[in-house]
Amino acid sequence: MVAVSQSAGRRLLTAGLDVGTTSVKAVAVDEEGRVVARSRRPSRLVVGPGRFEHDALETWWQAPRLVLEEVAAASGARGAGELAAVAVSAMMPSVGAVDAAGRPTGPGLLYGDGRGAPVSGPGPGGGDPTASDEMARLAGWVAADAPGADGYWPAQGVANASLGGRGVIDLASAFAAGPLYDGSGWSGDVCAGAGLSVGQLPEVAVFGERVGQLAPDVLGSAAGGGHDVVLAAGSVDGLCEQLVAGAVEDGDVLVMLGSTLVVWLCVPGWPSVPTGLWRVPHLVGGKAMVGGASNAGGMWVDWADRVLRPTGASGPGGAGSGGAGSGASWPDARGDGGLRPGGVPVWWPWAKGERVPWHDPALRVSLAGADLSQGPEALRRAALEATGFVVRNISELAAASGTPVKRYIVSGGGTANMDWLRALADVLGAPVLPLAVPEGAALGAAYLARMALGLERSMDDAARWARWSGPVEPDPSWSGAADERYHLWLAGLPEVPALPGLEG
């Protein structure tokens, strides 16, 4: 690989895009990871009985072009530098039918869609997310619904085709497709069982690999002089976010407050872990991440806000703020709005089933301790605490692998919601350290774009891009009551089913 020179006053910028559940985001950054421009477009999300899907043409094909053009134009207008490379991050699993150009011809099915659910009972819970065959089931449904399509691609492949004409996903996303990818390529047998062929799935590249350049019509006059812009292979959103979070010490807990809540404890080696948790390699050699994903993230917070918010009012995650619990705060849960530490009920936050450790889409919301003295603010505070209960429970289960928790680092759009961070700190009884850049997955993708230029040699160096805001401390007047509610919440949990065990 030939490194790109930054001599002669050329200041090269890279852009990262994140095709998320509730929005498509982009950031343009300099060589130190400082954001010089950002853009965001809400996703068209369809949620219904058994349905969890995107308008794939709008969200996977069109929105990446729009947000990239906006950050390129803003960077150029500010004289911030010259856009040199772009990489795409996206959630997994997802799949939609595409034509020969990679353009979607139908809906984009997302993780948790009922059409990807197992025939009976909870899905596989042991090992790691690559053990799930959800992607194969989703692809099988799409193949049956749109037989003869040119391809069945995840969001990342569609976005890359839109930007550069080449449908490609990275190696980590391929592994996240479960048994469809056998480690050396797409499995012909598994593809055939799902009703599709290997040729209908996208190409696979290593994250940070140069896979082409932007199509001439993507940026237009925003290209800053018409130079070629490299298209790099990005990665799964969680990997990109982890890359720039700085959670590298044993005992660090990375809490990703996105549409999905993800909790990872950094541990040494490759320990045995409790049934139902995931265990994946850390980006730092000799370490692993133990924990997993939960539905108690921004989708849960947004749902609670919509249910509790008076008609036309705005809250931290609904139509008035843009989703994922990342907008303006609710009335301060520790202000003078009638709330008191002991006057908050308890939610079990399963509006769409739950993932680790139960892996059961049939679980549903429960509420305990509510009474007529409590108003919407108390129930909203309870919704935020419910996320904290899940974080604490996953952290405690993960710590049973032998590594105690030392600190909590929080990333994702939820870092913009101070009430959410306060509730987390109160429930955890410990400070939480929010990242200064909420678009963590897009930021990580921008770092991978630098690797395609030869400007970075190792993913280990991405830790220098980790920047945190000031810690949010627990309030002693609230943390005691929150701890009591946590133990009430624990007592109401269902038993974890006998899922496949894990080897050490």
pLDDT in tens, 393-403: 999 999 999 99
- Rounded to whole angstroms, what are the CA distances from 15 to 71, 131, 214, 445, 451? 8, 31, 12, 7, 12
**Which single residue is written with the structure tokens 């839109």?**
162
Structure tokens given for 263:
């909790």
Kindly write down the DSSP assignment for every residue of 192-259, as one continuous string: HHHT--GGGS-EEE-TT-EEEE--TTTTGGGGSSS---EEEEEEEHHHHHHHTT---STTEEEEEESS
CA–CA gap between residue 422 and residue 257 (Å, rounded): 13
pLDDT (tens digit per residue) in 168-179: 999 999 999 999
pLDDT (tens digit per residue) in 170-214: 999 999 999 999 999 999 999 999 999 999 999 999 999 999 999
**Cα distance between the two ends of the chain:** 38
- Rounded to whole angstroms, what are the CA distances from 326 to 3, 47, 438, 452? 37, 20, 9, 31
Contact of 465 with 244, CB cutoff 8 Å: yes
CA–CA gap between residue 37 and residue 163 (Å, rounded): 19
Residue 319 has pLDDT above 60, yes or no: no
Q: What local confidence, expressed as pLDDT, does residue 6 receive?
A: 47
Q: What is the dihedral of CA 114, 120, 123, 126, to 10 degrees?
A: 180
CA–CA gap between residue 292 and residue 141 (Å, rounded): 26
Omega of the bond prior to 357 within 30 degrees of 0, cis?
yes
Q: Which domains does the chain have, with CATH numbers?
A: 12-240 (3.30.420.40), 246-434+474-491 (3.30.420.40)
**pLDDT interval class at 2 (50, 70, 90):** very low
Look up residue 464 and give its DSSP letter.
G
**Which single residue is written with the structure tokens 């190792």?**
458
**pLDDT interval class at 11 (50, 70, 90):** confident
Contact of 164 with 212, CB cutoff 8 Å: yes
Please state, rounded to an integer, the average pLDDT across all residues of the chain: 89
- Rounded to whole angstroms, what are the CA distances from 99 to 164, 188, 199, 200, 323? 15, 21, 13, 10, 30
**pLDDT interval class at 131 (50, 70, 90):** confident
Q: Would the pTM of this model clear 0.75, i.e. be above it? A: yes
Contact of 139 with 202, CB cutoff 8 Å: no
Long-range contacts of 125-128 (CB under 8 A, 24+ apart): 125/275, 125/276, 125/356, 125/357, 125/358, 125/359, 125/497, 125/499, 125/500, 126/275, 126/276, 126/499, 126/500, 126/501, 126/502, 127/278, 127/279, 127/500, 127/502, 128/278, 128/279, 128/280
Single-letter residue type at 487: H
CA–CA gap between residue 71 and residue 219 (Å, rounded): 10
> Which residues neighbour 414 within 8 Å (Cβ) at sequence distance 6 or greater?
257, 258, 297, 298, 301, 324, 325, 326, 420, 421, 438
- Closest C-alpha to 420, from 364, 357, 488, 472: 472
